[in-house]
Structure formats: C-alpha cells, structure tokens
Chains A and B, each alone.
Chain A
Amino acid sequence: MTDTPAAHPTDPFDAEALNAAEGLHPVDPAYAKVLRIATALNLIPLAIGASVFDALLIRHIEGPYGLITALAWLIAIVTIVSFPSRRVSRWGYKIGEGQLRVARGWLFRTDTIVPFVRVQHIDVGQGPIERWFGLSHLIVHTSGTHNSTVTLPGLPSDLAAAMRETIRRHIQTDFA
C-alpha cells in the first residue's frame, strides 16, 4: 500500500496498522460488543455500589456528596464505551504454515506462536453473551507450563469450528 514498508506503523496507536504490519488478521468486530456487555455487567454494579455508599455515608458525614457517584459513573461509562473496541483491535491471529499465531495487547504486547504439532487438545467455548453474537473462543492447550493454554476470543462460531478441525488434522498427521 505504501512505498516504504515501515517496520513500525507511522501511528503507533493505530491498531489496524499494527496488525497489518505484523501480517495478522483482526478478530470479529462484534467481539467488542461482547466485551462491552461483559465490562458493563462488571462495572455497573460497582458504580451502583459507589452511589449507594455515597448516599448513605458521605452525605451523613457531610463530605463532598456527589463526587464519588459522579466519578464512578464517569469512569464506568468511559471504560464501557471506549476500551472494549480498543482492546479488540489489538487482538490479531494468523493460522497457517503449521502454526497458530495469537497476538494481543499494546502496552504489554504478547505475540504467541504454537506449532500445531505441539497442541495437546483443543477447546471451542461459547459463553452466553458470545452466543447472542454468534461468536466462540478457541482454546489451545500445550504441554508447556508457561502458556499451557492459549486463548483466541472473538471468532465466528463456524470459523472457530473450522480452525479446530484444521488443527486436529495436523495433530494426527504430523505425529512424529
């Protein structure tokens, strides 16, 4: 696309560029919705708890009433709205050449490669929220103590099943 293929993307915060530069496929954008709902389920009770705490305690001791409530809801809403899509765009994967490659994170980026021959067994999992959006996650188990499981979330269910079949075939044929 560009005449000078830079080793690093010009904008280090542009996740598309990051994945593309490393030759990775992005996960399904719908996974952002899954993450968003999961985050909301975690944070909204916390924010409600903070509001109750604020109303019951801070008002009694005549502290700065409302400050904690406002902050809690602000943080919760910002986290729910902006973080999931960013996190999702940092995930990338590539399947092929007898190996599965999974990369995640930006601040602390981890790029894992598991050769198919090293796979012990494979799980395809689906939680209730993922099911609404037709997504699954693939879990690959290796016998290493570090990285004993490598998880790749945000795959359309049929793709996850297809990937499982691909890896399974390699386990059988490449057995040495």
Chain B
Amino acid sequence: MSDAAPPDAAIAAPGDESGWQRLHPATLALAVVALGPKSLNALPAVAALGFTGNWIWIVPAIGAFLLISLLAAWFQWLRFRFLVGDDEVVIESGVFARQHRTIPFDRIQDVSIEQGLIARAFGIAKVGFETGAGGKENDAALNAIALDAAQALRTTIRAHRSGEAAAVVAADAPDVAPAPDDRLLFAMAPGRLLTAGLFNFSLAALAVVGAAMQFFDGLLPFDFNIFNPVDWIDIAEDQGLDQWLLAHRWIAGIGAALSLLLIGFVSGIATMFFANWGFRLTREPRALRRTRGLTTRTDVALPVKRVQAAILVTGWFRRRFGWHELRLQSLASDGEKERDHQVVPFGKLAEIDPVLGEIAIARPGAEAAWQHSHRIVALGGLIGAVGASAGGIVAVSFGQPLGWLGPVAGLLIGAGSLFGARFHRWTDLGEQVAIRRGIWKPKTTLLPHASVQSIDLKSDFILRPLGLATLVFGVPGGSSLASHEIPAIPLGAAHDLRTRILAARARR
C-alpha cells in the first residue's frame, strides 16, 4: 500500500493541463481500507482452496485479489478528473462508460464537507454538492480532495452565490428564545390541543393493548392477565356474573363501545399533546420557524424562499367544523420521516390565511371556477371492484359462503370510486394551480407556477380515444401526501395549462 503511493503522487503532482485536477492519491489508501468488507467476497474462494488441499495457492490467491482490487481502484482514480471553472464544476468519470457532468455554481445549494476517521489522518475530505436534484445518487461528490482545497472550493462557490440569501438554518438547539423582532404567526394553547386531540380519534392504541396482552400473558407471576378478556370472563363465571351479562347484553355492548371510544379519544389526545405541546410558528427575517414537542422538542427553520407548495388537508368530519391542517413542501424534508413540514397542525382557515400570506400563496376564493377531471379516473377502482366481485363469486360457486363479501365489497369500492371521481378538481389562479382531491380526507394542493420544474403530458390507450390527458408536475421536495398531478382533463385544456405554466418566470 505505502509503496504504491509515491509513484501515483508523482503522476498527480504536475498541475494538469487547463486546470483539470485529479482526486487526492490517498483515495487509493481509502480504497485499501474499503477492501476490508469487500474481501468477504473472496472468502469462499479461499475456503474452497483450503478444503481441496491446495494450501500453497492461498497466499497467491489473496495477493492476486488485493492486486486486482487495487488496480481497479487505481484505474478509477486515473479516469476520474474534475475541473473547477469560473462558474461551474465539471466532473468526468468512468473506466469503461465515460460520464461527463457539468454543475453550474448557480445550481449548487450547498457544499458539504465530510471527514471520516481515515480521511482525517490523510488530511483529505469528501466534498458533496447539494444541487437539490431528487434522490441521493444524483448529487455529485468529490470523494477525496485535500481539506484546504475543499474549503477553498466551498468559499468560491459561496462567494459566487453571495448575492442570494444562502440561509439553511436547520437548528436542533432546543429552547432558544426567539428574537424580539420575530412575529408569532400561530401557536397552540392546551385548549386547542385538546380539541385537536378529540378530532384525532384513533383506534391504533387497540393494537398496542393487543400486543401488551400477548406480552404479559407469559410474564405475569399470577394466573390472571388483566389484558386478556377470557380471564375476565372466567371471573365473571365464578361470580355468576355471566348469567347477569347474558340478561343485560345491551349494557355489555354499550360498555364495550364506551371503552373503545375512550381508548380512541385518549390515544388521539395523547399523541397530539406529545407531538405539538408548546407549538409556536414564528416569522423570522428569512424563514418560518417552528418549535414544538413535549418530550423531544424540535426547532426547525424553513426558509421562505425554499417553500415550493402548500397542502391543505382536512377530514370529512372536521371540515364541518372548519378545522384544517397546513403543510408546506420544501426542498428539505422534515426530519427523517416526514417529507413536508406541518406548519399548522390544526387551525381555522382564518388562522391559516396569514401563514399562507407570508409565503405569497393564496387560497382559491369561493368564486374560483373549479374544473373537474373526467369520470374515467374511477376506472382503477372499478377494475378493482370487478376483481373483488369475480373472486367472491368464484368462492361462492365453490361452496364458500363468505365469498358473498366479495361482491358486496366490490359494490362498495365501485360506488366509492365513482363518487370520489367527482372530487378530482383543479383550477388555475393565474399565479398558481390548485388541485383538490379526496372525500374521506380532502386535500388541496396549492402549487405556484414558479415551483414547477418540468411537466409531463401523459396519455395512453384509454385516455387518448377520449381526448384526455394527464398532467404531472415535477416539483422540488417530494411530498408523500400529494402527487402533483391533474388526472384525465381534456387535451386542449392540458396543453393550454402547460403553456401558461411554462411561461411563468421564476419568482425569486
């Protein structure tokens, strides 16, 4: 390893023609370290040599493996070069299939510098360019360059972007008092949390109780499991209570229903209190800042310029009381799990509108002319319904009476999808598109034209004869809640909308 390094350094040392640079030769050292886990692949071969008695060949085999791996790493290093130009980074890579990648400085959101333990020993660093392109593998990286070169590169790129507010403030520091000039946009008092919790009714806790029942069954010292209803029935029988229960079945039913309700409400309120205790949304000079949480307090800053779209979620029941939830889609994702940022967990529209105002997005007014998607969007559900019915009927014909559930479910699914198809609607508000869908959990996506990165116009053998097309928008920062698409609208309308959105200039 160490004897291989000096000649490589000699090759790399001359300042290459026209500014092309290679990675630091220590890349090879990193490759040697990376061989550790990789050499597991060679173990079976070595073992086979040992079992067949060819002991003398083991050392040459391992040597050959090391040599080949090193050679491969060396070739890769040899064929990888990059160029830092006046306003772009160019990377060429690949031994057999060459790849030539150009990254303009304008598009680099941030430069990350990462140093592992071995990299530290060599004084090198990994430089990652965050371009905001979707997916990790799309972000380019220089695996190993000298640390000072990495810092210089970052300074160059940051200086190039200095005109912009390069603010990424994802602070995890808890309980930092907001500066006095920040305005409070939204806060949740305990009373509001209680209301929200009541609407957050969920029977997910039943699953927890069920798991506890399984768990305690073999654990408790006495032969009575408080989580097991059968044990309770045994006691009831001992006391002659079962006769009483049979006589008053309806009381037992009401009791069961009440306890279910209690579990549902308590768990809903508890999750709401744990997640959103002390919820505050404030407006800072450049960002929206959210602090919340009872046990784990989080403090997230969301740069206003990075907000791509707003999603308004409600439920069929809470909507009657005027309660809504506001989420913002941004380049960054909210922690590990959520793709978009919940900025108003539970509020009236009058409270949501000022927050939307801060990010220059408006809700469609009552006079907005909503247009509907074609009924054909129900097709998927209808096919499912037919499948369920057919399966059920086959089961019945084989003498399985439960099969009747199939056609019943099919009817319900079919009716549901036909009914739900009427709720796919969209409207163009000039600066943004609003897309609404869903009956059970209605979602309205407010998508500014300026956030749209690419537009797909899709048609297939079903939509084309009907003169329809589906528009799909590419928007930075994925959202699990809403795919940005307008399904099955007339081809002419789709073309018009696409032209209008593409004509919109970036707002920034």
Contacts and interface: CB of A to CB of B under 8 A. Distances in A.
Interface of A: 99, 107-115, 117-128, 141-150, 164, 168, 171-172, 175-176
Contact of B133 (A99, A120, A168): A120
B103 interface: yes
A94 to B, nearest CB: 13
Contacts of B331: 143
Contacts of B456: 110-112, 146-147
B9 to A, nearest CB: 30
B454 A113 contact: yes
A141 B455 contact: no
Q: Is the interface of A mostly helix, strand, loop or mixed?
A: strand
B96 interface: yes
Contacts of A149: 133, 138
Contacts, number: 131
B508 interface: yes
Contact of A147 (B101, B103, B459, B474): B474
Contacts of A125: 97-100
B474 A145 contact: yes
Given A119-B107, A142-B133, A149-B133, 5 more contacts: A108-B461, A110-B458, A114-B453, A168-B88, A172-B88
A176 B88 CA distance: 16
B117 interface: no
Contacts of B134: 142-146, 148
Interface stretch (B170-178, B280-288, B477-485): B477-485
A168 B103 CA distance: 9
B11 to A, nearest CB: 25
Contacts of B508: 176
A141 B131 CA distance: 9
A143 B460 contact: no
A110 B474 CA distance: 13
B455 A113 contact: yes
A143 B133 contact: yes
Contact of A121 (B131, B477, B502): B131
A173 to B, nearest CB: 10
B170 to A, nearest CB: 18
Contact of A141 (B87, B133, B506): B133
A109 B460 contact: yes
Nearest to B478: A145
Find the residue from B98, B133, B458, B508 having the highest chain A CB count within 10 A: B133
B458 A144 contact: no
Contact of B104 (A109, A142, A145, A172): A172
Interface in B53-110: 87-88, 96-104, 106-107
Interface in B115-150: 131-135, 138, 140
A147 B133 CA distance: 10
A144 B459 contact: no
Interface centre among A120, A141, A168, A175 (most CB of B within 10 A): A120
B454 A144 contact: yes
Interface in B462-497: 464, 472-479, 483-484
| 3 A-B pairs closest in CB distance | A144-B474, A148-B134, A145-B478
A142 B135 CA distance: 11
B475 A145 contact: yes
Nearest to B505: A176
B212 interface: no
A115 B331 CA distance: 19
A167 to B, nearest CB: 9
16 contacts: A111-B456, A112-B454, A120-B103, A120-B132, A121-B103, A125-B99, A141-B138, A143-B132, A143-B134, A144-B452, A144-B473, A146-B484, A149-B133, A168-B88, A168-B104, A171-B104
